[in-house]
A and B are shown apart, each in its own frame.
Chain A
Amino acid sequence: MKPINNKKLTILSILVVVVGSMMILLNSCTASQKISMKSGAQLWAENCQRCHNTPSPSTFSPEQWETIGMHMQSRALLTDTERDKIVDFLKSAN
């Protein structure tokens, strides 16, 4: 293993500082809520935008949302509670 060079160290530490301070900043303004306390609509709004634009519930039928829920659970590595709440919301707002 080669010693980590200075440039890399600088980039890494900048990254750590930026991410760290962002976390603290954002944490202080978002009320920390457990998944079990959140609604399906809130979980949908928070999670689906992590990778792509948030799909509207009217895009698919309830039956299709069930399939997509399983598919996206695998992509986004959602917990089962998150998946079930989001799918229930998408099906009811559909």
Chain B
Amino acid sequence: MQTLNKLTKRILAICLFALIATVTKAQETTTVVDSSLLNRVSTLEQQASYIKPRESHLMAVGLLTFGYVSNKTTVTYNGTSSVSKSNSLGDADHFEFSPMFLWRHGKKFLMEFEPSFSADGVGVNWAVASYYATPGLILRGGYLVLPFGTYNKRLAAGWINKLASDPEGIADASDFGVEAEGGIQAGTTKWSYDFALSNGMQLQPDGTTQFIGITDNNKNKLFTGRIGFLPLANSSIEVGASLMTGNVGDANLKINSATATLWALDLNVVENITPFQLNIKGQYSEAKVGNATYTDPNDPTHDYTFDNHTKTGYIMAALRPAFSQNDVVKNFELAARYGNYTTPANSLWGTKDNSLAVGLNYWMNWRTVVRFSYEAIKGTSTVSQNLGGNPGEITKSNSAYIQFCIEL
């Protein structure tokens, strides 16, 4: 019994020793790991804090549109026709390489700058600072894409567009100015507004208008505004109405009292009807420049006038089995667009055009697309004979495009 007790005591003593040794050892190891980990964590913290962007954030994105176009144009007048053919790698009318820079300071300020390299050389698409003033109000200033219709500001970019070409007659409208915009919820519907005041356009001696840049040529400013309405709770339909109006006369020239008034209606429908996604987009606009006397460039002693009224519209539909189970099929999209463009009769550029474009797109991802498009445009000249024109002359232009567009 005594031997057993002794043995038990010894075993107990050994166990106790082993336990203490293990605990001490364990504590030692823990302490060692802790301090090295802590050091590494604090170094990482320092490094992270060193590069943490705080309020200031800069990001760069950008887009490329590159393609090939082959064109055949037939001009017919008084029964005789002439044919011309051309093709261009790069597609001179649509090539574009535009990086875009976005700087954000906190959640109140955003600056956007998009320089662009195209067939016209190096230019700037927009350069704007925005201030997110209060909910529902963004104030902007700089070189703006004016809020007239939806094509220029929302749909023109190659990687957004559904066809390789642009609809005819949608003029670029970018100008130096200030802008106020925002979105407002009204029950289950939504409204949006976008108003701008800018330097404006100048009427050219031939009756066309042109944006004039950073120094205004008269005291008036151009007003451009759009109201958008989304009647459905799921935002799938939007209709918009725009107005642009201002004096386009030059204070120093004989055409000094002309006013230009333009209005537009736009429509956007995007419906998911499983497995398809249906897109319908359209815009119709009219531009009217008040009466003015123009100078014949071929004979400067000869003045003439005409009803300076331009109408243009397009309607585009695209269908994509975007929700198909098949990984290849879901990337294809079919698109078609009908366009109409009527420029002032008896002006130097008078024409009545109809166009039809069809296309097949393959979306490599949400912002990269390869597209095949074909467009036929038929134009009937309305240039007056007095100006050396051939009224009734018919121009048929057929173009086939292969285009690659990416945004990164």
Question: Chain A: residues with CB nearer than 8 A to chain B?
Answer: 15, 19, 22-23, 26-27, 30-35, 46-47, 49-56, 59, 63-64, 66-68, 70-71, 73-82
Contact = CB atoms under 8 A, between A and B. Distances in A.
Given A50-B238, A55-B366, A67-B110, A77 B187 contact: no
A56 B177 CA distance: 34
Interface stretch (B83-91, B266-274, B371-379): B266-274
Interface of B: 53, 57, 59, 102, 104, 107, 110, 112, 130, 132, 135-136, 138, 140, 153-155, 159-160, 181-185, 187-188, 190, 192-194, 228, 231-239, 267-272, 277, 363, 366-367
B92 to A, nearest CB: 25
A66 B136 CA distance: 17
Nearest to B368: A53
Main secondary structure of the interface of B (DSSP, over half): strand
Contacts, number: 109
A80 B232 contact: no
Give the interface centre of B193, B231, B277 by most chain A CB atoms within 10 Å: B231
5 contacts: A46-B236, A52-B367, A64-B59, A75-B154, A76-B183
Given A32-B233, A46-B236, A75-B154, A52 B366 contact: yes
Contact of A52 (B159, B183, B188): B159
Given A26-B271, A70-B107, 5 more contacts: A23-B231, A51-B268, A67-B110, A75-B153, A79-B184
A19 B363 contact: no
Contacts of B232: 23, 26-27, 30
Given A27-B232, A30-B234, A55-B367, A82 B267 contact: no
Given A32-B188, A70-B104, A50 B270 contact: yes
Nearest to A26: B232
